[in-house]
Amino acid sequence: MDLSTLSLGQYTFVQNAFSFGLAVMAAATLFLWFSRSHVAPAYRMAITISGLVTAIAAYHYLQIMLSWEAAFSAVGGTLEVTGYPFNQAYRYVDWLLTVPLLLVELILVMRLSKSETVSKSVTLGGAAALMIVLGYPGEVSEDAGTRFTFWVLSMIPFIYIVYQLVVGLKGSISKQPENVRGLINGAATLVVVSWLFYPLVYLFPLIGLTGGAAVTAVEVGYTIADIVAKAVFGILILTIAMRKSEAEGN
Amino acid sequence: MDLSTLSLGQYTFVQNAFSFGLAVMAAATLFLWFSRSHVAPAYRMAITISGLVTAIAAYHYLQIMLSWEAAFSAVGGTLEVTGYPFNQAYRYVDWLLTVPLLLVELILVMRLSKSETVSKSVTLGGAAALMIVLGYPGEVSEDAGTRFTFWVLSMIPFIYIVYQLVVGLKGSISKQPENVRGLINGAATLVVVSWLFYPLVYLFPLIGLTGGAAVTAVEVGYTIADIVAKAVFGILILTIAMRKSEAEGN
Amino acid sequence: MDLSTLSLGQYTFVQNAFSFGLAVMAAATLFLWFSRSHVAPAYRMAITISGLVTAIAAYHYLQIMLSWEAAFSAVGGTLEVTGYPFNQAYRYVDWLLTVPLLLVELILVMRLSKSETVSKSVTLGGAAALMIVLGYPGEVSEDAGTRFTFWVLSMIPFIYIVYQLVVGLKGSISKQPENVRGLINGAATLVVVSWLFYPLVYLFPLIGLTGGAAVTAVEVGYTIADIVAKAVFGILILTIAMRKSEAEGN
Amino acid sequence: MDLSTLSLGQYTFVQNAFSFGLAVMAAATLFLWFSRSHVAPAYRMAITISGLVTAIAAYHYLQIMLSWEAAFSAVGGTLEVTGYPFNQAYRYVDWLLTVPLLLVELILVMRLSKSETVSKSVTLGGAAALMIVLGYPGEVSEDAGTRFTFWVLSMIPFIYIVYQLVVGLKGSISKQPENVRGLINGAATLVVVSWLFYPLVYLFPLIGLTGGAAVTAVEVGYTIADIVAKAVFGILILTIAMRKSEAEGN
Amino acid sequence: MDLSTLSLGQYTFVQNAFSFGLAVMAAATLFLWFSRSHVAPAYRMAITISGLVTAIAAYHYLQIMLSWEAAFSAVGGTLEVTGYPFNQAYRYVDWLLTVPLLLVELILVMRLSKSETVSKSVTLGGAAALMIVLGYPGEVSEDAGTRFTFWVLSMIPFIYIVYQLVVGLKGSISKQPENVRGLINGAATLVVVSWLFYPLVYLFPLIGLTGGAAVTAVEVGYTIADIVAKAVFGILILTIAMRKSEAEGN
Ligand SMILES: CC1=C(/C=C/C(C)=C/C=C/C(C)=C/C=O)C(C)(C)CCC1
Ligand SMILES: CC1=C(/C=C/C(C)=C/C=C/C(C)=C/C=O)C(C)(C)CCC1
Ligand SMILES: CC1=C(/C=C/C(C)=C/C=C/C(C)=C/C=O)C(C)(C)CCC1
Ligand SMILES: CC1=C(/C=C/C(C)=C/C=C/C(C)=C/C=O)C(C)(C)CCC1
Ligand SMILES: CC1=C(/C=C/C(C)=C/C=C/C(C)=C/C=O)C(C)(C)CCC1
Ligand code: NA
Ligand code: NA
Ligand code: NA
Ligand code: NA
Ligand code: NA
Ligand code: NA
Ligand code: NA
Ligand code: NA
Ligand code: NA
Ligand code: NA
């Protein structure tokens, strides 16, 4: 990533996006954990994990923000790079932890049988970890060919997960109480749409964006995707859990 | 914003105002969350959100305060600018998050039907976000014409929201228990009056205030408005929720 | 305030006093909040506020301590001023918030009628704010005359509050359960004695104390007064609330 | 440990591993403590201690990460040592605290008689402390012979503990409810396998690894072992406690 | 205290001891507060205070550790003093707060009559404060005679407290339920033995230890004593409270 062509405006915009991400993730965490008492005991673990996902993300946005601020000097109204590296790996470290947790969260809220819960958690969680690990070498490479190769490799587990979710969720929806079917459909759509965003953002530098514009688009793009896939999704899961708790008479 | 003409006294006054804002917001957060157990379950989410609004504001006042202190050097009893930019965007990032939440909070405490709750949240929240986004370009511009143009644009969603609140609240008041009607009237007035404050403060630099005086007036003005619109308002909402809980026999 | 004549011993003593103040306030906060469950629901808000007062004070002692450490360099065993200003306003910002809250706390624990609670809170809280605001210009002035003038002005609301408390508390005491009368008398005496301390400390520089000795006496004096008026007082209020809860059969 | 031959890639990889370790430990702590309410009171102390182990580890990973970052400068894209020592003792301080706690946790979840609980805690905890203390001199020595000698010494209590666990767990398993036998077997295996990892990692520098590769392998190796032995193990203990609570009708 | 003769090994050892102290105190705090729900309401305040003692100590170990790190530079593998003073007063500030609290804790767990609880708290707490205040001038003096004089003065209240505890505890033990007599005897012994440690450590520089060895012995000695007198003692108090709660049928 070439940071030296960023403008002061782009730098500030990205910095504000990171601070916004941090505030949203921290607020979502608190909101979700405060809401644990509003759902039936059977759904509490799902809500706990929802909040854990946003808490882990809040920590990583703090680290990303500090790393970003250290990489630039804005003193005197002009932007210069300081030479401190901007550590992009924090995103991948975050995903390695949170993407499997998000999948577990989704599986838990469906309240499948114990064995199905465990087997789905393992296969989907493993595929997710593989997807992240395969994407990283391309993200940090300056070479377009390498970026594309790893994109393709990472897409394989990605497609597997999306397919499983769509099919699995569709199958499970018929067994869900009527008043949450719409919501679960919504959650499935949200997952697919927001997850699709990541491989697209990853391609930005390959489709003509260069320099400061590419950096800004990638960082802001991932931040928006993270807010949707973690915070908005967590609140949707909470809503589903509240509705199901009501329906089941808690 | 031209920081170079601030006096040491003005700098210190603004710094103290930011620290005061931070302390008020943090204290209000703790107070509201401790008070959750004093209201009926149906009102707890409104109180949780009240505290979330002040928590988010506390975080942003911390960032604003640190950014302010980095922008100046007061060593040796004279004030100088250091060249580090004072990042005013934190306010707008804060509002982008908290203004929609404030509206949701107000809607929740009225306990409307589920569909009305959702539809009002979406339209008013969306208008609020639009209002903030339209105001930002004018705030950071040094040009009076630009400032005024965006003021006008931002006033459109503003007037829509205020109108909706006044009409909506008036309509809903007749359905509320008698012992809280006065309080809800008070809350409606507080919202309108405190919100009107923001576009007025925004105009300060256009109505003759310049240099350090303008900066001081804008920063202190927004801080006072924030304390009223978030902390005082939150406590009013809590009072309403406590009264309604009592009336409903909890 | 002339910091340049402080000795290393005086600097260290004040620094330790601030750290002690911070630790006491933080410990009192935790103790009070943990004790909420030991009092009847009707008294919980008073205890919450007690802990809020000490929490706000803990924050301000942290800021005061950091400001104090930045104002001096003790490297190499000799003390020198660095030129960073020691921001005394933090005390006044703290009082502006906590003195009204302390009065509210006292009013709440008496369990007066709702209207009396509100009206007393407003008049006494307002007078307290006025007292603090009138005292500040004298505190930061190097001129003895100014210091004295604002002392006199600030004494007017002060005397009004003390008078109200003594009369009000005396009146209310006869209506209190017998087993807490002694404690409430004690609380009233504690308030009056500890509050009297503040205008006395304020006068130190006017009654012959100069240089480092004046600074040390004022800072340590206010710290002791704060510990008594906030932490010790808070624990007295807790004891009263626990006794009344017992008497009322909770 | 010779830090001067590390490459920038190795430095960054270890830094990310430490940050990952910190995030995992903190997340596991929160998850375990939130889950206390899901187990019967008799098992809560075991879960509290599980979370304490990961909390202590989170603190030490923070310290290790800060010490690591201070020991290197990555400015300008090349890595240099700053001369600040990388304090490896934090790991041993951590183990001194957490290994005995882990053993207590395992003993508690078996719900032995009071006297057996105490006696096993003391002998196994003591052996664990001895094992750590004997390992340290070898870890910080540059001399291969010293490293090996202390490895041998430390292996004595190590083998004693592993033997006790295997035999003790096997014996206790027959008395456990059927639905958790598999899990407890799993926990026993996990302990033995993950603990075996530590003396192996310790030997890396003795089996041909040198310079940056040795440092990287040791640090990443210990981090992975810690995650398995603390976080994964803690979640296994939680699962066992949840199953036993169910079986016992809570 | 002469810091200039410390070796790098001694410096690192003391630093690790402080970090260990901080981790133990923080972990004990959390453990004690989590365990509040395991004892009968009558003992909760004692447990709250136990945790407060270790929390206050954790804060002071953090300050001591930071002060220690600022006083030395270990860059480049050699140790040098930076000239920043190592503030030993933090220990005494800590004891001034925690020793009275420890005594109150011990008194509370015995569940004496209200008047005895108050009178014992006041006389023993006052004697403890006197003991600490009398010890301080000797601790910071470089002169052996001064050190010894204040040691003698401080021993007077010390002996009074120890005598009271031994006699008082012995007397109270006969009234305690049988199943905790052994534990209370143990607690009494632990208090006396661990407290005796302090005046002994204080004498180290008078009995031949000099330079770095004296500093190391004093700092590590006090740290060990603090861990026993606060954390281990707190857990013993918790065990007593749990046993008594059981015996009393809670
Ligand atoms: C397919 C693909 C990717 C997918 C990333 C995804 C799907 C990330 C999801 C993250 C979430 C949901 C985070 C929120 O917790 C990468 C790694 C960008 C690399 C390029 C190809
Ligand atoms: C109309 C208008 C504005 C309105 C701002 C408002 C109404 C902000 C409210 C903030 C609140 C309520 C925050 C507390 O949470 C701006 C953006 C200053 C720009 C100028 C025109
Ligand atoms: C009369 C007077 C004063 C009174 C101050 C008081 C009474 C402060 C009380 C503070 C408390 C109780 C804080 C604890 O929360 C000042 C401002 C020193 C100025 C001089 C005259
Ligand atoms: C035998 C042996 C060792 C064993 C270490 C172990 C077994 C550590 C376990 C740590 C755990 C379980 C931490 C998680 O909390 C050392 C000290 C490396 C030194 C070499 C020989
Ligand atoms: C008699 C004596 C002393 C006693 C200190 C004691 C007894 C300290 C106890 C501290 C505790 C128990 C802390 C834990 O919370 C001093 C001051 C060293 C000075 C020399 C004489
Ligand atoms: Na920078
Ligand atoms: Na610049
Ligand atoms: Na500055
Ligand atoms: Na200056
Ligand atoms: Na300084
Ligand atoms: Na100096
Ligand atoms: Na560095
Ligand atoms: Na470099
Ligand atoms: Na240093
Ligand atoms: Na050096």
The full DSSP string for chain E is ---TT--HHHHHHHHHHHHHHHHHHHHHHHHHHHGGGGS-HHHHHHHHHHHHHHHHHHHHHHHHHHHHHHHEE-GGG--EE-S----THHHHHHHHHHHHHHHHHHHHHHT--HHHHHHHHHHHHHHHHHHHHHHHHHHH-S-HHHHHHHHHHHHHHHHHHHHHHHHHHHHHHTTS-HHHHHHHHHHHHHHHHHHHHHHHHHHGGGTT--HHHHHHHHHHHHHHHHIIIIIIHHHHHHHHHHHHHHHTT-
Q: Which chain E residues are Cβ-neighbours of D96 within 8 angstroms? A: 20
Is the predicted pLDDT of residue A222 greater than 80, yes or no? yes
Quote the pLDDT of residue B223: 97
A243 contact D CB<8A: no
Q: Which chain C residues are Cβ-neighbours of E55 within 8 angstroms? A: 27, 30
In angstroms, what CA-CA distances link C5 with B50, C81, C215? 49, 9, 9
Shortest-distance ligand to the CA of residue B83: 7
D24 contact A CB<8A: yes
Domain ranges across chain D? 8-247
Dihedral angle sign, alpha carbons of residues E104, E106, E109, E111? negative
With bands split at pLDDT 50, 70 and 90, how would you rate the model's confidence at D39? very high
Identify the residue whose C-alpha is closest to ligand 3 atom 19.
Answer: C135
Q: Which chain B residues are Cβ-neighbours of A26 within 8 angstroms? A: 59
Mean pLDDT of all residues in E68-97: 94
Quote the pLDDT of residue A231: 97
With bands split at pLDDT 50, 70 and 90, how would you rate the model's confidence at C77? confident
With bands split at pLDDT 50, 70 and 90, how would you rate the model's confidence at C181? confident
Give CATH superfamily name and number for D8-247.
Rhodopsin 7-helix transmembrane proteins (1.20.1070.10)
Quote the pLDDT of residue E158: 96
How far, in Å, is the centroid of ligand 9 from the Cα of B24?
Answer: 30
Asked if A16 lies within 8 A of B93 by C-beta distance, the reply is yes
Q: Which residue has the higher pLDDT, B80 or E2?
A: B80
Q: How far apart are CA B60 and CA B90, in angstroms?
A: 6
pLDDT digits 0-9 by tens, A93-130: 999 999 999 998 888 877 778 888 889 899 999 999 99
E strand intervals along D130-181: none
- What's the complex ipTM? 0.95
Contact E189, E249 (CB under 8 A): no
- Kindly state the percentage of chain A with pLDDT values over 90: 68
User: Pocket around ligand 5: residues whose beta carbon is below 6 Å from it?
Assistant: E 53, 95, 98-99, 102, 131-132, 135, 151, 154-155, 158, 195, 198-199, 202, 226, 229-230
Q: How far apart are CA A216 and CA A3, in angstroms?
A: 10
Q: Which chain B residues are Cβ-neighbours of C60 within 8 angstroms? A: 23
Of C12, C27, C38, the CB nearest to E52: C27
E81 contact C CB<8A: no
Q: Which chain D residues are Cβ-neighbours of E20 within 8 angstroms? A: 93, 96-97
- Kindly state the percentage of chain E with pLDDT values over 90: 68
Quote the pLDDT of residue D175: 76
Asked if A31 lies within 8 A of B41 by C-beta distance, the reply is no
Of D41, D82, D93, the CB nearest to E16: D93
Tell me which of B14, B16, B18, B65 to substitute to probe the interface with C (most C C-beta atoms closer than 10 Å): B16
Quote the pLDDT of residue A210: 81
Q: Which atom of ligand 5 is nearest to the CA of E158?
A: 1
Quote the pLDDT of residue C250: 58
Shortest-distance ligand to the CA of residue B96: 2
Quote the pLDDT of residue A70: 95
Q: Per DSSP, what are the bridge partners of residue E80?
A: E73
Phi and psi at residue D73, in whole multiples of 5°?
Answer: -120, 125
Is the predicted pLDDT of residue D171 greater than 80, yes or no? no
E strand intervals along C8-104: 72-73, 80-81
Is the predicted pLDDT of residue C10 greater than 80, yes or no? yes
Q: Which residue has the higher pLDDT, D165 or B75?
A: B75
How far, in Å, is the centroid of ligand 10 from the Cα of B6?
Answer: 26
Asked if E60 lies within 8 A of C23 by C-beta distance, the reply is yes
pLDDT digits 0-9 by tens, D183-207: 888 887 888 899 999 999 999 888 8
Tell me which of E18, E19, E180 to substitute to probe the interface with D (most D C-beta atoms closer than 10 Å): E19
pLDDT digits 0-9 by tens, D57-113: 999 999 999 999 999 999 988 999 999 999 989 999 999 999 999 998 888 877 778
Ligand 4, pocket-test mutation among D49, D52, D61, D95, most atoms within 8 A of CB: D95
A29 contact D CB<8A: no
Quote the pLDDT of residue E118: 87
